[in-house]
Chains A and B, each alone.
Chain A
Amino acid sequence: MTARRRPLLPTLVLLLGALYCLFPVAWVVVAATKGSGELFATPTFEPGSSLLGNLGDLFGYREGLFWTWVANSAVYAGVGALLSAAVSGVTGYALAKYSFRGRDLFFNALIAGVLVPAVVLAIPQYLLLSEVGLTDSYLSVLLPSVISPYGIYLARIHAAASVPDDVVEAARTDGAGETRILTSIALPMMLPGLVTVFLFQFVSIWNNFLLPFIMLGDDRKFPVTLGLYTLLNQGNTTPALYTLVVAGALVSVLPLIGLFLLLQRYWRVDLLSGSVKA
């Protein structure tokens, strides 16, 4: 790169990167309009004629199973991320603002937890949950998603940075109890950081494939990713399902992209200092 006095080159490179990243999204918008005859027969970016037909087929597939998957994903990711943000907030505050016995031990164990690969956990988690009869249930996907070492780590740094010791001290002098300080002073102050924790956890649960893949058997409990995977898998023998997969990919991606654009100002992470800049 010889970008001496030419701001053109940096812009060009950035736009190429943007094009690369938008390309598959543009493809799925076009491909979703193609009927099963057209998908494999017409030029890639030539729009087809059966968008409504594809959507109708998708929504009608096994009495609206697709919407069940979407709702399931929303439950897993929404409830899971909400609980996770709450637990992370409270724990992060406790770790940042109190010194208590076992604090460092607990924190170090958590950090080590970030490094434990999902698979080392997933199989024994499955076996343990099956001991108590919880596999193939909503809880089997929700429970392991609540604790997020990374979320607690972010919340701890955020509590240290955004809740001043003086404010906590003053509230104490005024006679506020510890729980009241937490709920009416500290957590509201940490809210922007907790929104970021929520978003990261939401995306990571929504994207998680291994856990539901291992835990769930009944396809009425599948999240949308696992549902589309099974459709793609069946496409081998029933190629007509491919148009459903493409339409399903479009319908499941558009709301995510909308949410993403809406909340983009919260996505600022500095991994190094762990700070969350909202």
Chain B
Amino acid sequence: MRTRSRPTTAGAAPYAFAAPAVVLFALTFLLPIGYALYLSLFRVEVSGLGLGRGSRREVFAGPGNYLRALTDAELGAGVVRVLLYGGLLVPVMLGLALVFALLLDEERAPARGFARLAIFLPYAVPGVIATVLWGFLYLPATSPLNQALRALELPEVDFLSPTGIYFALANIAVWGGVGYNTIVLHTALRAIPRELHEAARIDGCTPLQVALRVKLPLLTPALVLTALFSVIATLQVFAEPTTLAPLTNSLSRTWTPLMKVYQDAFARGDVHSAAATSVLIGLGTGLVSFGLLRVARRFGGLR
């Protein structure tokens, strides 16, 4: 980015322009992060019956909350569930987005405008609503697939079984996210100079070869970035399993780490261990993001 240094006549202007954002950033990001770190180091000690005003007091816990969170079996199980869910979701979503983006870039295919719009459309549908729609499509009584299977006297599929639920949730996220990622990848594709494919085509490459040997390598940095955003979103999954939970017994109230944090903070009222868990989730997310960014930098496309 080119930014020449300015003559001093600008004076206080840039500071005044940036001030609202700095203040808001401090209030909504820095202060809460600091407060979460502070909270995570304390715990509440209850004396007597825990009834009177002075019977609950905060005492320094050191790493206690962290140690408890790290050894919490339910939290560990939640992490494994989210990893399984993400392992299903991210490759499928990005794979589909890549295929759609490459096909949209293929000038000879008709109906591209319609397909592009239709595939991007679910982006406008909130996760909660998407879960409501798919939830009913999963329920045995309203599922079109199961109605067809019943008509053919074949065994039904239980989308909401303890195993099926991973696919059910991943499908909702794929449906909601594939369009956005397609648009990002397609925009990146259009930034590739036309001469590159022209040349390859004149040299006798088929469209498939152009896609795999010319376009795909140039797309790698964009793919890494979309992967990064998808992974961050996956680790924070909350709305969909929370919304789907009333429809099935396969989803516990602590199915994902984030749901566990919510339960700790608001159902159990233990904000200290919730804070420690959320800091750990933040660190985990940061670590994964950092790793992916390093990969992206190695491919040299990230500015």
Binding site for B on A (CB under 8 A): 1-4, 7, 10-11, 13-15, 17-25, 27-28, 31, 39-41, 43-45, 87-88, 90-91, 93-100, 103, 106, 109-110, 113, 115-121, 123-128, 143-144, 146-147, 149, 152, 157, 160, 165, 172, 178-179, 182, 203, 206-207, 209-210, 213-214, 225-226, 228-229, 232-233, 235-236, 245-246, 249, 252-253, 256-257, 259-261, 264, 267-273, 277
Contact = CB atoms under 8 A, between A and B. Distances in A.
Interface residues on B, range: 35 or more
B199 interface: no
Contact of A20 (B125, B144, B175, B243): B175
Interface in B251-303: 258, 261-262, 265-266, 271, 274-275, 278-279, 281-282, 285-286, 289, 301-303
Contact of B188 (A10, A123, A272): A272
Classify the interface of chain B: helix, strand, loop or mixed. helix
Interface in B12-26: 13-18, 20-22, 24-25
21 contacts: A14-B104, A14-B119, A17-B119, A18-B111, A24-B130, A25-B121, A31-B136, A40-B142, A99-B4, A99-B6, A106-B22, A123-B274, A147-B28, A160-B3, A178-B11, A179-B16, A209-B127, A225-B129, A225-B239, A268-B183, A273-B303
Contacts, number: 312
B232 interface: yes
A13 B99 contact: yes
A179 B37 CA distance: 39
B36 A209 contact: no
A271 B184 contact: yes
A232 B243 contact: yes
Contacts of B179: 21
A208 B287 CA distance: 24
A203 B187 contact: no
Contacts of A253: 124-125, 129
A100 B16 CA distance: 11
Contacts of A225: 126-129, 239
A248 to B, nearest CB: 9
B132 A120 contact: no
A99 B243 CA distance: 47
B103 A123 contact: no
B10 interface: yes
B39 interface: yes
Contacts of A259: 124
B273 to A, nearest CB: 11
A206 B239 CA distance: 13
Given A18-B118, A115-B232, A207-B127, 9 more contacts: A100-B10, A116-B286, A120-B32, A147-B24, A160-B2, A179-B13, A256-B125, A268-B187, A271-B222
Closest 10 CB pairs of A and B: A178-B13, A18-B118, A209-B239, A98-B14, A124-B32, A94-B17, A14-B115, A44-B144, A24-B133, A120-B282
A153 to B, nearest CB: 12
B221 A272 contact: yes
Nearest to A234: B246
B33 interface: yes
Interface string B204-238: 00111000000000000110011001001001101
B124 A203 contact: yes
